[in-house]
Amino acid sequence: MKKLRIVLLVIIVLNIVLFASDTNQILAYFLKIKGNVRVQKNNKWVDVKRGDRILNGNVIKVDKKGLAIIKFIDKGDIIAIKENSTIKIQGKINNGKIEKRLFLKVGDIMAIVKKGSSGGFDINTPTATASIKGTEFDLSFKNDTTFLSAYKGVISLFNNEGEILVNKGENAICTRGSAPKLVKKRLMRTNKLVIEILDKRNKRKTIELNYEEK
């Protein structure tokens, strides 16, 4: 267990160093904005609008009753950042694909990650890391607890204490100092968000996201 903790710590440190560079790289853009959404630039919070670009290392903050939908530029992975959330967007572009390393500091996100479309997709919280290979999921971090719901595909959820696989329809939690574990499905009231996007043939199509309305 001690060796596992050391290995995981080394991996995290290397990722921080690797993805802290290339701060001018454009990784994504804002597909939809609702309410007050800001990005931290030069230690200042700046309001954003639909279509604004997101650079490597940008921190996005969504205030109460707000919502931000971002789309990555490589193959169109989409993240809905819900109200009262703060997330850091990091990545490295290799051969046209983005190795995505996000850090959810607090709040909730819902994501659609296309299978085989990206160069890697990890989301860190203060208590766990979710490694995604292609799926739809909801991830939150509040009150020192990470909560994950998998809607499609399989997600690896791990920390220094252990690792589990979360399959379609399953839910897991992870608190500080404890290994991730599966739990019964939580009940939440959701609204349906319909987004219109362009596919590879420039034809318009719609996708739906279920998001929690507090």
What CATH code is carried by the domain that includes residue 90?
Answer: 2.60.120.1440
Residues 141 and 127: beta-carbon distance below 8 Å: yes
Residue 198 lies in a domain: no
Residue 214 lies in a domain: no
Q: Which residue type is seen at 143?
A: N
Most confident among 87-91, 93-97, 195-199 (mean pLDDT): 87-91
Question: Dihedral sign, CA of 112, 62, 13, 144?
Answer: negative
- DSSP class of residue 184? P
Q: Report the range of poorest mean pLDDT among 45-59, 124-138, 196-210.
A: 196-210
- Which residues partner with 172 through β-bridges? 148, 182
Into how many domains does the chain fold?
A: 1
**pLDDT score, position 120:** 83
Query: Which residues form the domain of 150?
Result: 2-187
Residue 196 lies in a domain: no
Average pLDDT score over residue span 74-96: 91
Does residue 182 register a pLDDT over 50? yes
Give pLDDT tens digits for 130-170: 999 888 899 999 999 999 999 888 999 999 999 999 998 89
In three-state secondary structure terms, 14 is: helix
199-208 long-range Cβ contacts below 8 angstroms, 24+ apart: 207/78, 207/112
In this prediction, residue 75 has a pLDDT band, given cuts at 50, 70 and 90, of: confident
Most confident among 80-94, 106-120, 173-187 (mean pLDDT): 80-94
Average per-residue pLDDT for the chain: 82
Residues 5 and 34: beta-carbon distance below 8 Å: no
Does residue 202 register a pLDDT over 90? no
Give 190's Cβ-side CA count (13 Å radius): 14
Residue 70 lies in a domain: yes
In this prediction, residue 95 has a pLDDT band, given cuts at 50, 70 and 90, of: confident
Residue 203 lies in a domain: no
Residue 121 lies in a domain: yes
The more confidently predicted of residues 76 and 102 is 102
Residue 56 lies in a domain: yes
Residue 41 lies in a domain: yes
d(CA 25, CA 204): 27
Does residue 213 register a pLDDT over 90? no
**Structure tokens, 155:** 């997600």
Does residue 8 register a pLDDT over 70? no
